[in-house]
Structure 1
Amino acid sequence: MKKVFIFSGLGADERVFKYVTFSEFDVTFIHWICPEENETIEHYAGRLIEQIHVNRPILVGLSFGGIMATEVAKLIDTEKIILIASAKNRQEVPFYYRFAGYFNFHKFLPTRLLKRPTRISDWFFGVQTREDRRMLAAILRDTDDVFLKWAIDKIVNWRNTILHQNLKHIHGTADRILPIRFIHCDLKVTGGGHFMTVNKSIELTEKIAALLHESL
């Protein structure tokens, strides 16, 4: 049975994959660890590798998890990388995020505001039901403040230019956090937003399964 290692989104965990099935694949969720002071994204990726104990794993990354999966894949040989609602390189990070990173605007954002569920956060994530809102609120509430600030800094300052040849990308056409106009993806989920692992899980499961069984 092949092993699949899943990197969830910023502050998220396996809860956002509760409706996505991986059939015959053996799934392990990578757990975020507390970043060290001034830790680089490359060094952090090296520490996450300690949770991977097989040769040539399949990596699946959601949002910030896709960025980390891309960094991990620079350090170990992988069979396949699948990104969901993420970015493959610096060029796919929206210019306004990079602008914020260049001028350090993101460092002035209070974490308590970022973690507070509002109608604005619901809109950005594309939540559609009361259950979606409850899950998003719980995820935001449970996000570690130190990790949140560190991860946002790494996103807006990401420098990666490498394109892995064994990487496939699934993206939603209605993603408001990483708009599809900045993304070159292999498969699109029509109407899918940044929360599509929850509210577009059936279609997403089918597309993930197709990529997992696809020969590169």
Structure 2
Amino acid sequence: MRTVRIWFQKIGTARFISHLDLTRCMSRAIHRAKIPLWYTQGFNPRAFLTFALPLSLGVAGERESVDIKLEDDGPSNEELVVRLNEALPNDLPVLAVTEPVMKPGKIAYASFVMLIDPEGRDADTLAKEVTGLFRRESLVVPKHTKSGFVDFDIRPYLDRVEVLPIEGKVEIRAVLPAGSEMNINPHLLLEAVQRELGLELYAQIRRTNLYDGQFHEFQ
């Protein structure tokens, strides 16, 4: 038995499927690809699939991963890529299959790109307004917790945020805490922009990478 890490993208319409549906889709693709997946033992056997920090609904992912266990050495990593891409939809392309290096529990940060359509407003002006907003001494937003919504100051977590006007739109590049200890959803930044600047904005969000506590790329 060996464990492999499947690297894939969640793009296009696939970004609107839930994590549960993603798990089902990946399980069925593995079955169609005739990959010798290992199942847990016991009364209700289940396929071993471990996703690293599942995405929020509507957020695209450029470098996602899922760990699976194979019953035996099975096909080569290169052959696994070919078989999975034949079985998965185009919006869930597999990029590579590797041996796991880091445990998902080591993830501490995630990088995002948020592309805002200013809807008729000047992109340069809006970019300056958003930059000024993110540089305030405090920026309090409602954050959902297990006990309900609480007022949460996101300003201490915005040191690695850059705002740029690009081709008539505004791009926000952010590295935010992610993982079990602290998690800042990029939607909180957009909610702050809409509420504080009095705007209704259309934005696309994509997660570009994951990192450990020392900002080493998740491998």
TM-score (norm 1): 0.25
Q: Which is strand-richer, 1 or 2?
A: 2
TM-score (norm 2): 0.25
Q: Which is helix-richer, 1 or 2?
A: 1
